[in-house]
Amino acid sequence: MRSRRWSVGGSGEAGPAADLRLAFPEMLGFSSRNLKYMRSFAEAWPEEAIVQQLVAQIPWGHNLRILD
């Protein structure tokens, strides 16, 4: 994976979503939209202990509703 900072989103296959899909072809969920949600989630709950706890207690779809 590249060590530069990308902006998540836009059109085409360039950027972090495409790089992650290439690096981890067996994993799903690396769309530009999901990466935006992941970034929003990390910014909303930056403390690792809280993030770990929330992810364990609240399904991902519910977290997306909270962020929207």
Angle at 58 between CA 20 and CA 52, to 5 degrees: 60
pLDDT at 64: 81
pLDDT at 22: 92
- Asked whether the predicted pLDDT for residue 1 surpasses 50, the reply is no
pLDDT at 7: 55
CB 6 within 8 A of CB 16: yes
pLDDT at 14: 62
9-59: pLDDT as tens digits: 555 556 888 899 999 999 888 888 889 988 888 888 887 776 666 667 778
Residue 39: what are its φ and ψ, rounded to 5°?
-65, -45
Q: Where are the chain's structural domains?
A: 16-67
- The pTM (predicted TM-score) of the whole model is 0.54
What six digits make up the tokens of 18? 């495409």
Q: In terms of DSSP H, where are the helices of the chain?
A: 16-23, 32-44, 48-57, 60-67
Q: At what angle do helices 48-57 and 60-67 cross, to 10 degrees?
A: 120
